[in-house]
A and B are shown apart, each in its own frame.
Chain A
Amino acid sequence: MNSFFPSLVIELHNRCEKVILLLENLSLPSEIEPNLKNTIKKSIAIKSDLESILTDPDFGAPELLLNQINSYKRCYESYSLIEKIQLPILLRYSKKDEFFHAFLKYSLSQVNYNIETPLISAASSNYYEVFADKNPVLSSFFVPVVDDLFLLNLPDLFHEIGHLIFFHYEKELSNEFISQLNAHLSKEKSRMIVENRPFNPVFYENFEELWKESWVKEHTSNMIATYCLGQSFGWQCLRICANTGEDVYFPAKIDIKPDDHPSFESQIQGILEILKIMGMTSASSRLNKKWNHYKSICHFEKPTEHDHCYPDHLMKALAQNVFDGCTTIGLKSFISQKHTKNEINIPLILDEAWTLFQTDPKKFLTWEDAAVKSLKASLCKKS
């Protein structure tokens, strides 16, 4: 390893140099200059970290080799993320990306999340997703390749925006909830002992890890999207569920750790909660009615474990925490968007799209074409 390790560091340093050169020679539209500059800056920082390893007077000292290899690995991972995330977007920046950049920029300002616009690529093979970075301008969104032609999926972009907001405001959005989650866990564990019930430690370990590491993030992102868009996010969630055919109560048995996503049933319950807190009770009832109807058609059966995984009082606590957090951060809710007279009002356009889609599907198709054209023209004019 002693002779192999320096070669690894030197080779990665060379890669960084080449990538920096490649990026410096790119000619891109002015709106993504900050993204390009920051990607170069990050690549230079990695290169500099590698130089620090190479020029360390103790480079290769047996006492430090383990730690130096660890430092190298973190550099490699950082470089690798640039190569996989930012670099392909910058190298293949297209007209579609340009439209989505304008759309994202406008959406962020409309919900009053004032950050420099992250990168966005309209070439996702993995539906909507976001790579969240501490530096917002290095964060990167991915959207499906034809979604500049349609409206109904767009609420999912707000779910990804929710992830980014959570990344930067975790305390405001979930601290109170985490205290309640911890209290719930202690109470449940004591109850098992007092009532002499069979205690399954794996369930509680997985419950804690899933909630803290994944579910709180997914639910919060849903709730932020609902806070900004109102019911249209809920309708889109129902549509995704119908399209994928997933059992709405999966996962409920968490003795074996499942995937990161919470069940659709709990997601819809979270959305309904936040709609109620926002005072949108009739929207919440409409969504609940359709959701129950969908479940009854598909004959999904609720396992008893479901309520243990997603306790009702915790869902309510999280919704309240997210609502309070959104207010503290200063995000604009759907209710306040309703009263603004912007030339482009994305939450209202999506709300109208979802209403028309359900009331008059045929009319919706022609309306959607015109709305997309008008949205593109207005955003083009603005940028």
Chain B
Amino acid sequence: MSNLGVFSHRYSSMSDLSREINDATIIIKKAHYNLAGKKDISPSQLAESRQYLTDVFINLMKNIQPEIHDFDSEIKKPIQLPISFIDHVKNSNKSEMTYFIDDLKKIINHLEKDQNLSLQDLKILDKMCSIMDEETSASFRKFWRKRSI
């Protein structure tokens, strides 16, 4: 038996999450950089995007460091992050995990309190989009190769 059933399930959840993170990031960045498309973004869209990304980052932080104490932000909506995404984030920040956790706390704080994002916040946003994109593409490529034989 093939594993297409497992693949399609895994790809579907990865692709949805990747789209959601990416779309929310586009909205945040349009507003932050004051781009031409900012005028088409409603305040509620912006607030929803901020909230969504806050939830993603809190979920991520609690997955990376479940025993974290000095942090009181609560998840509004649980988001199931793929294990491969969490591992990828962990591995790419292995040597500087303490700093990375600090950066995560800062971006969560800025997003929650509707504050301006820093350059470092924006770097983290892009990094998360890229990792999620890489994981989704990798999952897709597995399927692509299997069906191309």
A interface list, Cβ under 8 A from B: 56-58, 61, 63-64, 66-68, 70-71, 73-74, 77-78, 80, 84, 126-134, 142, 156, 159-160, 163-164, 166-167, 205, 208-209, 212-214, 217-218, 221, 240, 259-261
CA distance A259 to B6 in the complex (A): 11
Question: Does B136 sit within 8 A of A, measured CB to CB?
Answer: yes
A132–B35 CB distance below 8 A = no
Whether A129 touches B2, Cβ cut-off 8 Å, given contacts A67-B26, A166-B9, is yes
Closest to A156 in B: B1
Seen from chain B, the residues whose Cβ lies within 8 Å of a Cβ on chain A are 1-6, 8-12, 15, 18-19, 22-23, 25-26, 29-30, 33, 35-37, 40, 82-84, 87, 126, 129-130, 133, 136-137, 140, 144, 147
Contact in complex: A130, B8 (CB < 8 Å): yes
Interchain nearest-CB distance for A108 vs B (Å): 16
| Contact (A66, B130) CB under 8 Å given A77-B15, A134-B12 | yes
Least CB distance, B126 to chain A, in whole angstroms: 6
Q: A63-B29, A70-B133 are in contact. Are A58 and B37 (CB under 8 A)?
A: yes
Known: A131-B5, A217-B6; 14 extra A-B contacts, CB below 8 A, are A57-B37, A67-B126, A70-B130, A70-B133, A71-B22, A74-B22, A126-B4, A128-B2, A132-B9, A163-B6, A164-B5, A212-B83, A214-B3, A214-B6
CB neighbours of B82 from chain A (8 A): 213
Q: Are B136 and A74 in contact (CB under 8 A)?
A: yes
A-B CB contact pairs (8 Å), 23 listed: A57-B37, A58-B30, A63-B33, A66-B126, A66-B130, A67-B26, A67-B126, A68-B26, A71-B22, A77-B136, A80-B140, A80-B144, A129-B2, A132-B9, A160-B5, A163-B5, A205-B87, A209-B83, A209-B87, A213-B6, A218-B6, A221-B5, A260-B3
In the complex, residue of chain B having the shortest beta-carbon distance to the beta carbon of A71? B22
A127→B18 CA distance, assembly (Å): 31
Residue in A78, A163, A164 whose Cβ sees the most chain B Cβ within 10 Å: A163
Shortest beta-carbon distance, B60 to chain A, in Å? 17
- Contact present for B9 and A217 (CB under 8 Å): yes
Question: How close is A258's CB to chain B, nearest CB, in angstroms?
Answer: 12
Cα(A99)–Cα(B126), bound, Å: 50
Q: Tell whether, in the assembled complex, residue B137 and residue A64 are in contact, meaning their CB atoms are under 8 Å apart.
A: no
CB proximity of A61 to chain B, nearest CB, Å? 6
| Complex contacts, B37 vs chain A, CB 8 Å | 56-58
Are the CB atoms of B12 and A133 closer together than 8 Å?
yes
A355 to chain B, nearest CB (A): 23
Q: Contact: A132 with B29, CB < 8 Å?
A: no
Q: Knowing A61-B35, A71-B22, A74-B136 touch, does A213 contact B8 (C-beta < 8 A)? A: no
How far is it, in angstroms, between the C-alpha of A61 and the C-alpha of B140 when the chains are bound? 27
**Is there an interface contact between A240 and B1, defined as CB atoms closer than 8 Å?**
yes
Q: Which chain A positions have C-beta within 8 A of B126? A: 66-67
Query: Please, which residues of chain B bring their CB within 8 A of the CB of A166?
Result: 9
Q: In chain A, what residue has the closest Cβ to B83?
A: A209
Q: Return the contact of B1 from the options A127, A213, A214 (Cβ within 8 A).
A: A127
Q: Hey, which chain A residues are within 8 Å of B12, CB to CB? A: 132-134, 167
Chain B residue nearest to A240 in the complex (CB): B1
Contact between B4 and A131, CB atoms less than 8 A apart: yes
Out of A70, A160, A209, A240, name the residue touching B22 (CB < 8 Å). Answer: A70
- For the complex of A and B, the 8 pairs showing the least CB-CB separation, nearest first, are A163-B5, A57-B36, A129-B4, A129-B2, A260-B3, A58-B37, A132-B8, A58-B35
Complex interface: chain A residues within 8 A of B4 (CB): 126, 129-131, 142
Known A66-B126, A67-B129, A77-B140; contact A208-B5, beta-carbon cutoff 8 A: no
Q: Is B9 in contact with A163, judged by CB distance below 8 angstroms?
A: yes
Q: Note all chain B residues with C-beta closer than 8 A to A259.
A: 3
Q: Nearest chain B CB to A154's CB is how many angstroms away? A: 13
Residues in A neighbouring B136, C-beta threshold 8 A: 73-74, 77
Chain B residues with Cβ below 8 Å from A133 are 8, 12
Closest to A186 in B: B66
Nearest CB on B from A134, distance (A)? 6
- From B11, B25, B26, residue with most partner A Cβ within 10 Å: B26
A130 and B5 contact, CB distance less than 8 A: yes
**Which residues on B sit within 8 Å (CB–CB) of A261?**
1, 3
Whole-angstrom distance between the Cβ of A107 and the nearest chain B Cβ:
16
B56 to chain A, nearest CB (A): 15
**Smallest CB–CB gap between B132 and chain A, Å?**
8
